[in-house]
Amino acid sequence: MLQEGIRLFNIKRWKKALEAFLQVEVNEKSDEAVELAYYLGLCYTKLERYDEALLYLEQVITANKYPPRVYQCRLALAYVYTITNRAKLAQFELEYVVNTGSETPQLYLIMGFAAWKEKQYNKAIECYGKALEMDKRNATALNGLGYILVDTDMNIAQGISFCKKAVNTNPKNAAYLDSLGWAYFKNGNFNEATNWLRKALEAAPQPQQKEIRNHIKIVAGV
């Protein structure tokens, strides 16, 4: 059942993967228990069940057996702390990772997201830029950078360009579609804005729909 859960996880069927993992029975002191905690932590993170995610992510870090997985779990912890508005805890995890000397695009994506949440826009732009230096086609970095540039009115034309590249990389991603719609709105193109925001709403899972609907209302002047 563990291998079936991993298979489902790898094809991004998070809910089904979680169901499979929860049926696995392991010795709590075994290596398999650490592997199971790793996947449970990531599944709960993907499903936005953050309290449960923290429990399992911390188990992997405490076990400290597999450095790549510990690294991944620290980044996931930083993301969870950021999205749940625990900035100091997020910063602690990010600084710990940085001090290991392990720089990856994923690290800079989370650093950029954390900086954006704290309204440290220049730092966020710098972090997303570093992610793009390491992976020039990284759609999350393109989207994050584009959204900040248009939302803060720093450079709307360039922001639209980044948002377009993100959408071209993943045309079905609701967050990217939403950013492009918002970018067109900030540029004064209401028809294009409405078109892309509607596409975003159609593609969005329930948790994402609230923000997209708010953008649609703003564009419509409601």
The tens digit of pLDDT for each residue in 32-91 reads 999 999 999 999 999 999 999 999 999 999 998 889 999 999 999 999 999 999 999 999
The pLDDT of residue 122: 97
Does residue 207 register a pLDDT over 80?
no
In the structure, what pLDDT confidence band is assigned to residue 100 with cuts at 50, 70 and 90?
A: confident
Both tokens of residue 204?
Answer: 């969005």
Task: Confirm if 31 and 46 have CB atoms less than 8 A apart.
Answer: no
Does residue 164 register a pLDDT over 90?
yes
Contact partners, residue 56, CB within 8 Å, separation at least 6:
37, 38, 40, 41, 44
Output the pTM of the full model. 0.87
CATH classification (class only), 137-222: mainly alpha
Does residue 205 register a pLDDT over 80?
yes
H-assigned helices in the chain: 2-10, 14-21, 31-46, 50-63, 67-83, 87-99, 105-117, 121-134, 139-151, 156-169, 174-186, 190-203, 206-220
Sorted by where each begins, the domain ranges of the chain are: 137-222
Q: Say whether 200 sits in a helix, a strand or coil.
A: helix
Give the pLDDT confidence of 106-154 residue by residue, as tens digits. Answer: 999 999 999 999 999 999 999 999 999 999 999 999 999 999 999 999 9
DSSP 189: -
Cα-to-chain-centroid distance, residue 103 = 17
Contact partners, residue 121, CB within 8 Å, separation at least 6:
115, 148, 152, 154
Does residue 170 register a pLDDT over 80?
yes
